[in-house]
Each structure stands twice: as C-alpha cells, then as structure tokens.
Amino acid sequence: MLEDKNQQRTSLASLGEFGLIDHLTQGIELKQPGTLTGIGDDAAVLDFKDKKTVVSTDMLVEGVHFDLAYMPLKHLGYKAVVVNISDICAMNATPTQITVSVAVSNRFPLEALEELYGGIKLAAKTYGVDIVGGDTTSSQKGMILSITALGEAQAEEITYRNGAGDSDLLIVTGDIGAAYMGLQVLEREKEVFKVNPNNQPDLDAYTYLIERQLKPEARKDIKALLKSLEIQPTAMIDVSDGLSSEIIHICKQSGVGCNLYEEKIPADPQLISACEEFNIDITTVAINGGEDYELLFTIKMEDYDKLKGNPNFTVIGHMAKESEGVHLITRANTKIPLKSRGWNALQEE
C-alpha cells in the first residue's frame, strides 16, 4: 500500500478533520482563469463566462474498483483524477477543476493519505486543473474515493453520444486492450507472490501494459488536435468499459447501427505477445477489456481526408442504418453481433 513499508505512521486522529484537510491541501495553486475562489470557504466560486460547463463524477471503492495489494496509493490518486478528466474530454470539453472526497478507515495513517494526495496533485498539475474543494471523512472499512471534474467548452464544440449519422466513420485514438492485459499480468504476479513472497517478478515484457493499467492518461490533447484539423466530431465517448460497450452506447443513443472491423483494431506489440503467452484472444481483450481511456468518436465521411494518416487516429469501422444492427466483421469476413460485455458495476458475479 505504502511505497516505503518502513516509514513513519501518524494516526489521522491526531490531526483532526480540519487539520487533516489543511495538511493535505497545502501548496495547492489555482491556475485556471475560471476559478475565482477555491478551497477555504463554504463553496468554490467559478466563472466560465460565455462557455458551457460540463460536470462528471466518479466513485472508487476499495475491493470493488481497486486493490491496494498492487495499486500504489500514489497511482490510485493519479488514476482517479485521470478517469474523471477522461469523461470531460469525452464531451470534447477542456477539463478545468476537480473536487476530491475521501473516506478512510483507521487502518490508514496520514502518510498513506499523503501518498494518495501526491498522485492527485500530480494529475491536477499534469492536466492543468485546479483542486477547488472536497471532503475527508472516516469509513468503517477500507477506502472510498470520489472525484468530481468540471470542464468548459463552447456550446457548439460539445460532443454528445447521440450525434452519430448512419454513414459516419468510427475512429479510436491510440491503441486499446493494453490496460486489461496489464491487470491480468498484475493479478498473476499477486498469485505468484502469495506462494513465494521472495520471488522478484520480471515485468520487463509488460511495462507498457502495466503502465496502461496503473497510470492511464486521458486524451486531453484530442480536442485541440481535432480543432486544428477542422473536424467537429459528431458523437464521442471514452473507452472506460470496453470498445464493444461504448460502440453500443453511441449506436443506441444515435439511433444507428455499426460495422466494426476486427483487422482495424489498433493493438500495441506488447499486447499481441502477452495475449499469445496467456492464450487469450486479442480481439476479445480489445473489445471487452476497458480502462484504456482512449476516445471513441464518429466523424462525417467528408472529413476523412483531414485525419487520414494521422498516427493518433485509427478508423475502425463505419456507422450504418439502425436496422442493420451492430456487428464485428472478423478477419475471416464473418459478421458477429456485438454484445455489451463490458464491465458492469452492478452485475452479479
């Protein structure tokens, strides 16, 4: 849990709630012009002038969404911010502020919260967002982390899930599937460690996969990139639950169908070799894996030339009439209906 197991352990009770908040929020600077006041009053005051505000919130529960056996607290803090920022980016908006709420049991010393906040502050700095509020409280068991992200955009820039046309192209940024395989590698190492705690894992072949799982990044760059190419996406979503599930969200909300081409799905070489080693089908990983935090979006056919050849983007399919359904076209040219098998927070085990 703590990176240095021998470090000092200061009990949270010794600081009291206000002392703890003061301690954790030390050194927070406000950089966004839209932040009028941040932490320190009953509420933060923001001003987005003529722009629209987008808001997204997400809760992470220990044992459900993360396992501190292989997720260092600093990484957890970083990732919790990134996943919220990714949702702002998925609206084609610019992330601007976050609030951070944490509940912890008394098993966590102050030093653990310092590491968690270290990751949160690093992500805020990396993405240029202000930390403007939050709450710290105690829990009976484990840790609960809730982050709310705010962002801004011009009304006409905001991209919803329901704008895809039935002849639009489907595009994904970066590569997908790596975060899921990173988790498989970490889970395997955890089992090995249980049997032999002296075993030092050799993870060189999986560095990219593990980084995608433990330290994902949000595609804050894509809004500006699309703007510079003079492309306004018609629908957009981030790949948090898996490509298949995100495609179905866009199709349902836009009232269109889709053909996704297996051979087009972008995969990193490390993912290809890890799937061979684990004997897992790479397409299954890519379409059902999730947690890649890449952006999935649609564009009008006539915009294709503007992004053709750009290494950030891969055209992976095209939309269709709703009556045609949502399908994966395999390498063997068979048509398989796409199912939403992405991760579902409420599904029974």
Nearest Cα to 129, choosing from 199, 252, 38? 38
Least Å distance, CB 176 to Mg ion, is: 14
Interface with Mg ion includes 292 (CB under 5 A)? no
| Tokens matching residue 148 | 């709310």
Between 25 and 173, name the residue whose CB sits nearer to Mg ion. Answer: 173
Between 238 and 294, name the residue whose CB sits nearer to Mg ion. Answer: 238
Q: Is 107 annotated as a binding residue?
A: no
| Phi, psi (rounded to 5 degrees) for 147 | -125, 140
DSSP E strand stretches across 165-246 = 169-173, 235-238
Q: Binding segment for Mg ion among 118-126, 227-235, 240-248, 311-319 (CB under 5 A)? A: 240-248
Are 342 and 238 spatial neighbours (Cβ–Cβ below 8 Å)? no
Least Å distance, CB 240 to Mg ion, is: 5
The span from the CA of 314 to the CA of 308, in Å, is: 9
Among 44, 78, 87, 296, binds Mg ion (CB under 5 A): 87
Burial class of residue 84 (count of CB atoms within 10 Å of its CB; 0-12, 13-18, 19+)? buried
Q: Is 206 annotated as a binding residue?
A: no
Nearest Cα to 131, choosing from 148, 111, 114? 148
The span from the CA of 123 to the CA of 47, in Å, is: 22
Interface with Mg ion includes 238 (CB under 5 A)? yes
Q: Is 78 annotated as a binding residue?
A: no
Between 87 and 130, name the residue whose CB sits nearer to Mg ion. Answer: 87
Between 62 and 87, name the residue whose CB sits nearer to Mg ion. Answer: 87
326: which strand partners? 258
Interface with Mg ion includes 294 (CB under 5 A)? no
Between 74 and 212, name the residue whose CB sits nearer to Mg ion. Answer: 212
Q: Is 174 annotated as a binding residue?
A: no
Are 322 and 256 spatial neighbours (Cβ–Cβ below 8 Å)? yes
| Phi, psi (rounded to 5 degrees) for 166 | -80, 0
Q: Binding segment for Mg ion among 44-52, 65-73, 192-200, 239-247 (CB under 5 A)? A: 239-247
Are 256 and 318 spatial neighbours (Cβ–Cβ below 8 Å)? no
Q: Is 207 annotated as a binding residue?
A: no
Between 236 and 338, name the residue whose CB sits nearer to Mg ion. Answer: 236
Number of residues that bind Mg ion (CB under 5 A): 3
CA angle 174, 287, 334 (to 5 degrees): 115
Q: Which residues are annotated as a binding site for substrate?
A: 65, 291, 343
Q: Which residues are annotated as a binding site for ATP?
A: 117, 134-135, 161, 240
Residues that bind Mg ion (CB under 5 A): 87, 238, 240
Q: Which residues are annotated as a binding site?
A: 42, 56-58, 65, 87, 117, 134-135, 161, 238, 240-241, 291, 343
